[in-house]
Amino acid sequence: MVKSGVAIALDVTLATDTPGENGSCKCGVGITLGIMDNSVLGHRGLISYLGKLAEELKLDVQYDVLLAGGTDSGEIHKSKAGVINITISIPARYIHSNQGIIHRKDYCDTVTLLTEFAKRFDAKVLKELSESNR
């Protein structure tokens, strides 16, 4: 069994940039960091850390709040004594259909951020994140 200290759930979120839609997530704007959904509040230290890392890498970031639905983060954060986690999503049109649409920039920026996070993550970062939510 894996005993994770940090986890990131990857998902899609509703792109709300078409006529008649109300919301803040848009295709082509970049990485989407999940503040909350119906099942979890994102870890504020991890949200901040990834936001600053994206800024350093000159990547665009948007923030998402979903009042309905949830992601795997909702179950992950309850594992063991608790796992620091958030959801990173890619805005998509027509989710839960046979042909969703995402923007290449959003995908590439997300991969870049996750790759750099994996390169930099170590025991020191874990300790900082663990202490940042107190």
pLDDT tops 90 at residue 34: no
pTM: 0.86
The larger pLDDT score, comparing residue 119 to residue 6, is at 119
Strands (E), the chain: 6-14, 31-37, 40-41, 61-65, 84-92
Domains of the chain (ranges plus CATH)?
Answer: 7-15+23-129 (3.40.630.10)
Instruction: Report whether pLDDT(38) > 80.
Output: no
48-102 per-position pLDDT tens digit: 999 999 999 999 999 987 767 667 665 665 666 677 888 899 999 888 888 889 9
Reading the block at residue 1, the tokens are 């069994």
Neighbours of 127 (CB within 10 A): 11
What is the model's pLDDT at position 110? 96
